[in-house]
Structure 1
Amino acid sequence: MNPCDSRAEYESRMHRVLAYIDQHLDKPLDLATLAEVAHFSSFHFHRLFAAWMGETLGDYLRRRRIEVAAIKLLAQPRVKILHIALSVGFGSAEAFSRAFRIRFGCSPSAWREQQTSQRHAKSNFGQINSKQSQALPTPLAEHSISSNIHQEMIMQVILVDRKPATVAYLRHLGSYGASVARFWQESYVPWAAMNKLGADHARYGIAHDNPDVTDAAQCRYDAGAEVPPDFVLTGGALKQTIPGGKYAVLRFKGTAAHIGEAWASLLRDWLPSSGLQLDARPCFEYYPQGAAFDEETGYFECELCLPVTSL
């Protein structure tokens, strides 16, 4: 195996472990189990994981449990803190509160209250701005979706049952927004052209972390295209399966500067009133065949897909 193939194999195994962790946060995640998922010796896996991720396995598990819990505290404001603690693998509310305070500097209940207050402030600001944006000429008003997205949210979100999809992808590690837009243009587009994955292939942007609770340097984002299961990988790409099931879908039109607020509003404004909750599947952007994109302005269209299940 040449060095490039060897590195891709390591990366594929580590990505598989990270996905397994996110899908099983409510269960015990011991070293032996995760080493088996990665197909590495349990004797060496802890050291390999720390070298690859820049943090120990224990620190990573603790961080992901706290970050996912923080997202649930915001998206499910009526769910008891103990229930959220148990859903991410903590044995008690006390243990969860201690770990949460170390990470965020306050208790889970105080953090929830703070975020709720900020949510109301942003919603009120959006209602004021939406009145102002009505007087703006296009295309400026067309790109001001962050100001009126809250008002239109309930009408725009639909529930869709999606089938599983195989995606060949490249991973971006770092902040979202403009850097992700550059990643699409500078990394994904040349790779897709080399592999003849043009506009006739649906594309996916998969956000594995929420930048509101995860440090920007640790945010993971995959840019990829839907491919047959037997697609031959080249150019450092990897494959994953996007799970099927029920998703809440918001059709987005705007630029990279606005998509973060669209995601935040979907979680902050729509989900808490929907009677639904997040599950362990990843959130993603779906770009169907022929989705609009203006290279000059950066304006594009996609569907924001939020995995949901009954509350």
Structure 2
Amino acid sequence: MAAPDTSRREYARRMNRVLDHIDAHLDAPLDLAALAELAHFSPFHFHRLFAAWMGETLGAYLQRRRLEVAAQGLTLSPDRSVLELALAVGFGSGEAFARAFKQHFGCTPSAWRAGSAARWAAYLGEQRRQLGLLPQQHRNLDQDGRATAHDDAGSFFEPPHQASELFIMDVEIKTLAPQRIAFLRYIGPYGPAITEFWYQQFTPWIEAEGLAGRPCYGIGHDDPSITPPERCRYDAAIAVGPDYQPSGAASVTELPGGLYAVAKFRGDNREIGTAWSELFREWLPASGMSCDGRPCFELYDDPDGAEEPGTGIFHCWLCIPVVKG
């Protein structure tokens, strides 16, 4: 009989496989039997196991993820119609989507889109209040005080409007190669708990695996302004080769390549959430680009030198998947 810790790690790998499959196939039918087979559980037990593991039934989880992804699309992809976004997350009609959306968020999809600017402002205002920061108190995060972006050919986009001056970052458009990664998953509120997860679980694990020194990634799968804090998912990941086999609770996947907006962050762990929010609120709408369905992530390309000794300051790259137009 498997030891309790070993059994729990195996369950984590199976459930992570299901969650990742769901996110990649929100536009397709996702029936219990197929997901149970993916997790190597019997359909009879899978529904109960999923509910116990996630704290909500499979049906509730599928509905919530579809609506949250659509809500992100309404905010970040203003050129896509409500019906297009509804179909992209698996709803059969705009009417069914509108009813479900209003029941979940308390407003129509059109009202949600119209209120995006005010909602972002309120969310950022609360983040700033919690940090105790005013715009003029905040450090600049680039070298020359400008916010610019250029693509691989060297052309420039207009800088974002200056409604907010908290974070001013150079944003470069780069084509990144796909990367095979091994990861441990955390589910819960973003913020200080992720730092604890990184140092108490992820760092000891990569050292035990002999993986220290490789590029690391922090992958946030959910928008904390939309998803309830206790249900947000975050993967602490590290680059691995094609022959690596995971151990413990780790899973292996491929981080997609393609076009990304890449910005250098330097600050403490309290500030990174606000930096992400500023990029989405200020830079993205003014860039002429849209965010697609690949995950956003933080890249620590020099993990040994990512933290400045004795200061609590660290640096990384913030990477947003984008498409032109």
Is TM more than 0.5 here?
Answer: yes
Structure 1 gaps of 5+ residues are: 134-139
Q: Deviations over 1:188-236 (max 9, x none)?
A: 22222322332x2111111111111111111111112212233343443
Work out whether 1:190 is the aligned partner of 2:243: no
- Tell me if the contact between 2:176 and 2:257 (Cα under 8 Å) persists in the aligned partners: yes
Partner SS state of residue 91, structure 1? coil
Return the match for 1:148 from 162, 165, 169.
Answer: 165
Distance between the aligned counterparts of 2:310 and 2:187, measured in 1? Answer: 25
Q: Tell me: CA distance 1:256–1:229, structure 2 relative to 1, closer, same or farther (3 Å).
A: same
Work out whether 1:172 is the aligned partner of 2:186: yes
Partner SS state of residue 165, structure 2? helix
Q: Tell me: CA distance 1:208–1:105, structure 2 relative to 1, closer, same or farther (3 Å).
A: same
Partner SS state of residue 19, structure 2? helix
Distance between the aligned counterparts of 1:95 and 1:255, measured in 2? Answer: 43
Distance between the aligned counterparts of 2:300 and 2:322, measured in 1? Answer: 20
Q: Map 1:30-109; keep pairs closer than 5 Å.
A: 30-109=31-110
Q: Deviations over 1:86-122 (max 9, x none)?
A: 2111122221121111221122222222221244678
Q: What displacement does 1:49 show?
A: 1.7
Q: Which has the higher helix share?
A: 1
Structure 2 gaps of 5+ residues are: 146-163
Q: Return the letter of the residue paired with 1:227.
A: V
Distance between the aligned counterparts of 1:24 and 1:309, measured in 2? Answer: 20
Work out whether 1:241 is the aligned partner of 2:257: no
Distance between the aligned counterparts of 2:12 and 2:125, measured in 1? Answer: 44
Q: Tell me: CA distance 1:68–1:291, structure 2 relative to 1, closer, same or farther (3 Å).
A: farther
Distance between the aligned counterparts of 2:236 and 2:141, measured in 1? Answer: 23
Q: What displacement does 1:18 show?
A: 0.7
- Tell me if the contact between 2:183 and 2:250 (Cα under 8 Å) persists in the aligned partners: yes
- Tell me if the contact between 2:284 and 2:290 (Cα under 8 Å) persists in the aligned partners: yes
Q: Tell me: CA distance 1:54–1:295, structure 2 relative to 1, closer, same or farther (3 Å).
A: farther
Q: What displacement does 1:129 show?
A: 5.1
Distance between the aligned counterparts of 2:22 and 2:238, measured in 1? Answer: 24
Return the match for 1:264 from 269, 277, 300.
Answer: 277
- Tell me if the contact between 2:50 and 2:57 (Cα under 8 Å) persists in the aligned partners: yes
Q: Tell me: CA distance 1:97–1:285, structure 2 relative to 1, closer, same or farther (3 Å).
A: same
Distance between the aligned counterparts of 2:316 and 2:231, measured in 1? Answer: 24
Q: Tell me: CA distance 1:89–1:275, structure 2 relative to 1, closer, same or farther (3 Å).
A: farther
Q: Return the letter of the residue paired with 1:47.
A: R
Q: What displacement does 1:22 show?
A: 0.8
Q: Tell me: CA distance 1:123–1:15, structure 2 relative to 1, closer, same or farther (3 Å).
A: closer
Partner SS state of residue 190, structure 1? helix
Q: Percent identity?
A: 49
- Tell me if the contact between 1:206 and 1:284 (Cα under 8 Å) persists in the aligned partners: yes
Distance between the aligned counterparts of 1:123 and 1:300, measured in 2? Answer: 22
Q: Deviations over 1:113-161 (max 9, x none)?
A: 22212446789999x955x34xxxxxx735899x6356x35xx222222
Distance between the aligned counterparts of 1:143 and 1:246, measured in 2? Answer: 22
Partner SS state of residue 249, structure 2? coil
Aligned length: 298
The residue aligned with 2:118 is 117
Q: Tell me: CA distance 1:111–1:309, structure 2 relative to 1, closer, same or farther (3 Å).
A: same
Distance between the aligned counterparts of 2:11 and 2:89, measured in 1? Answer: 27
